[in-house]
Structure 1
Amino acid sequence: MVKKPGPDKDNAQLRLLKSVADGIAALFFPSVEVVIHDVEAGTVAYIANNLSKRKPGDDAGLDDLEQDPLAPVTGPYEKLNWDGKKMRSVTIATGDGESPGYLLCINLSTAVFEEARNALEMFLSVTRLQPQPEQLFRDDWQENINTFLHEWIRRENTSLSALTREQKKKVVQSLHKEGAFRAKNAADYIAGVLSLGRTTVYKYLRECKE
Structure 2
Amino acid sequence: MLNRYHAIADAIALLFTPYAEVAIHDLASQKLVYIANNRSQRELGEDSNLNDLQDNLDLQVLGPYQKRNWDGGQMRSISAVLRDDNQRPIGLMCINLDITVLSSAKAALETFLSGSTLQPQPAVLFQDDWQERINTFIHQWLQQHQQTLSTLGGPARRALVEALYHQGAFRGKNAAGYVAKILGIGRATVYNYLKNIKESV
Instruction: Classify the TM-score, shorter chain.
Output: 0.7 to 0.9
In structure 2, the CA distance between the partners of 1:64 and 1:202, relative to structure 1 (3 Å rule), is closer
Partner of 2:147: 158
The two structures, once aligned, show a CA RMSD in angstroms of: 2.2
Partner of 1:174: 163
Which residue identity does 1:176 align to in structure 2? Answer: Y
Deviation at 1:30, TM superposition (A): 0.8
- Identify, as 1 or 2, the structure richer in helix: 2
Query: For residues 67 and 180 of structure 1, what CA distance do their matches in structure 2 show?
Result: 67
In structure 2, the CA distance between the partners of 1:21 and 1:133, relative to structure 1 (3 Å rule), is same
Partner of 1:134: 123
Instruction: Give the stretch that moved more between structures: 165-174 or 29-38.
Output: 165-174
Deviation at 1:37, TM superposition (A): 0.9
Deviation at 1:59, TM superposition (A): 1.0
Kindly tell me the number of residue pairs found equivalent between the two proteins. 198
SS of 1:23's equivalent in the other structure is: helix
Deviation at 1:152, TM superposition (A): 2.7
Partner of 1:206: 195
Any stretches of 5+ residues in structure 1 without a counterpart?
1-12
Any stretches of 5+ residues in structure 2 without a counterpart?
none
Matches within 5 A, 1:11-90: 13-90=1-78
Deviation at 1:27, TM superposition (A): 1.6
Task: Determine what percentage of the aligned residue pairs are the same residue.
Answer: 48
Query: For residues 157 and 148 of structure 2, what CA distance do their matches in structure 1 show?
Result: 11
Query: Normalized against structure 1, the TM-score is what?
Result: 0.83
In the alignment, is the contact (CA less than 8 A) between 1:76 and 1:90 conserved in 2? Answer: yes
Instruction: Give the stretch that moved more between structures: 65-74 or 45-54.
Output: 65-74
Query: For residues 27 and 144 of structure 1, what CA distance do their matches in structure 2 show?
Result: 44
Query: Normalized against structure 2, the TM-score is what?
Result: 0.87
Deviation at 1:182, TM superposition (A): 2.1
In the alignment, is the contact (CA less than 8 A) between 2:57 and 2:81 conserved in 1? Answer: no
Query: For residues 173 and 25 of structure 2, what CA distance do their matches in structure 1 show?
Result: 71
